[in-house]
Structure formats: C-alpha cells, structure tokens
C-alpha cells in the first residue's frame, strides 16, 4: 500500500502513539506519594485502564448517555481508588490525575514518523476517544505534528461506534475506502474495517508493560508496520 491508495491517515492515540501506562503510573506515584500513600501504582494504572473499554462501550452502544472522556475517567478513577484503599486522595488530587491523560509521553517513533508523513500528500489526524481539548494539549506537549485533531466526541459517541469512523471520513472529505485507520488495538481496526476504512496495525508490546502477553494483529488488516516510522516509509513508497 502506498500514498496513492489513501488520501488521509487517522491514528488512535492512547497506546498507539503514546505510552499511557508509564505516564499514568508516574502521575499516580507522584500524587499518591505527595499525599503520603503507598501502593502498586502500576497495578492501579492498569485497573483504571481496564475499565476503559467497558465504559466507553456502554456509551457507544447506547447503554449510557454520552459524557466527555474526562468525566468518564473520573468515574473510573473514583472506583479504582476505592478498590485500592486510596480514598484519602481529595478532589484536587483526583482532578490532577484525570488531567494526566492530557500529558502522556509519546513512543519514540511517533513524532519522527509523523514528520515523515508530513512530507507526503496524505493528511494526518488523530481519531481518538479523547476529547478535542485533551488531544490538542496532548499532541502539542508531546511534539506530535498532526494536520488535524479529530475526536470521537464530534460524533457524541466513542469508538467502536461506526459513526466515529464515518464522521472522520466525512469531515476530512475522503471516501471511507481511502481513509487509513492506524492502531495497536485489533478491536479498533476491526470496527474501522467494518465501516469501510482501510486499516494498519502497529504492535505496541510494551503498552501493558514488559510482562504483558503479546497481542496478535487482526485476522484481516491491510498493512502491518513495525512502528510509525516504518508505516510512513511504506506509505511513501520506494525512493522517498
């Protein structure tokens, strides 16, 4: 697949472009440590993230009304802190922890890969469940140069709702079959493919830490790349 096959490329952000686990673990350790608390902060971060798919899925399928991701992150955080005996953390600390998702560290290949894509004809954009404000702050501080910031909140839903993928194609004024969705999560790519998008899988073996089980790519995917730099080189084609 080359750039002649697609007009735009949209990227998942949490996990695909950024290392949420180490970023959130450090935020929890910093806030919790300052409050005099001790915990397995990586386990707390994992427990918080594990609620994510179920929670946004309930919004996507209509079981819950739409709410901004920051609000959902706060609901999930409150549950996790209670389960781990960390209710001593107050309102200001909890707000700070929710905002940690606005400041995730990028994977080392993310920014260089986007710069390579910037030199091709394709338009690049986020397509994340994070809100527009969150994504604008995250991409700016992380040095991730996208041409456009798109969010599931524009569809008042969350991935894997097909409306999210189709709205991205509509807003970018491209046919779904000429829009490439890039993610490290098979369920995201499978939903994008069902919506008529092209798909590219990038493995992130450290997303859940060094001891996590490997994740297999979807059974059907248009492209598998080592990382964002490799993706950019494949799309650019020979000689670019």
* HSE (side-chain half, CA atoms, 13 Å) at 57: 8
pLDDT at residue 128 tops 90: yes
15-33 confidence digits (pLDDT tens): 999 999 999 999 999 999 9
Note the pTM of the prediction, 2 decimals: 0.95
Q: What is the pLDDT of residue 4?
A: 72
Helix (H, G, I), strand (E, B) or coil at 12: coil
- In the block, tokens 């397995």 appear at 40
**CA–CA gap between residue 131 and residue 153 (Å, rounded):** 6
158-208 confidence digits (pLDDT tens): 999 999 999 999 999 999 999 999 999 999 999 999 999 999 999 999 999
102-123 confidence digits (pLDDT tens): 999 999 999 999 999 999 999 9
> Predicted confidence band at 240 (pLDDT cuts at 50, 70, 90)?
very low
Interval 136-163 mean pLDDT = 97
As beta bridge partners, residue 201 has 183, 224
Q: What is the DSSP letter of 157?
A: S
Contact 126, 175 (CB under 8 A): no
Q: What is the pLDDT of residue 2?
A: 59
Q: What is the pLDDT of residue 3?
A: 56
Provide the CA 147 distance to its chain's centre, in angstroms: 17
As beta bridge partners, residue 224 has 201
List, in order, residues 6 or more apart from 228 with CB less than 8 Å away: 17, 107, 109, 110, 112, 113, 114, 117, 182, 202
pLDDT at residue 238 tops 70: no
Rg of the chain over all Cα atoms, to the nearest angstrom: 18
């Amino acid at each position: 697949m080359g750039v002649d096959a697609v007009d735009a490329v949209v990227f998942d952000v949490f996990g695909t472009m950024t290392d949420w686990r180490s970023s959130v673990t450090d935020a929890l350790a910093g806030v919790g440590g300052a409050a005099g608390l001790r915990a397995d902060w990586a386990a707390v971060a994992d427990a918080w993230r594990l609620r994510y798919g179920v929670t946004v899925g309930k919004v996507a399928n209509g079981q819950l009304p739409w709410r901004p991701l920051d609000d959902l992150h706060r609901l999930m955080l409150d549950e996790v802190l209670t389960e781990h005996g960390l209710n001593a953390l107050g309102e200001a600390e909890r707000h700070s922890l929710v905002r940690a998702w606005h400041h995730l560290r990028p994977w080392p290949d993310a920014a260089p890969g986007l710069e390579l894509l910037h030199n091709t004809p394709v338009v690049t954009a986020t397509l994340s469940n994070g809100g527009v404000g969150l994504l604008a702050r995250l991409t700016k501080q992380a040095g991730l140069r996208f041409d456009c910031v798109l969010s599931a909140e524009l569809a008042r839903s969350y991935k894997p709702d097909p409306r999210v993928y189709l709205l991205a194609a509509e807003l970018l004024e491209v046919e779904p079959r000429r829009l490439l969705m890039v993610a490290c999560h098979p369920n995201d790519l499978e939903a994008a493919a069902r919506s008529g998008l092209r798909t590219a899988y990038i493995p992130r073996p450290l997303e859940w830490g060094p001891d996590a089980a490997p994740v297999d790519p979807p059974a059907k995917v248009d492209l598998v790349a080592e990382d964002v730099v490799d993706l950019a080189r494949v799309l650019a084609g020979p000689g670019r």
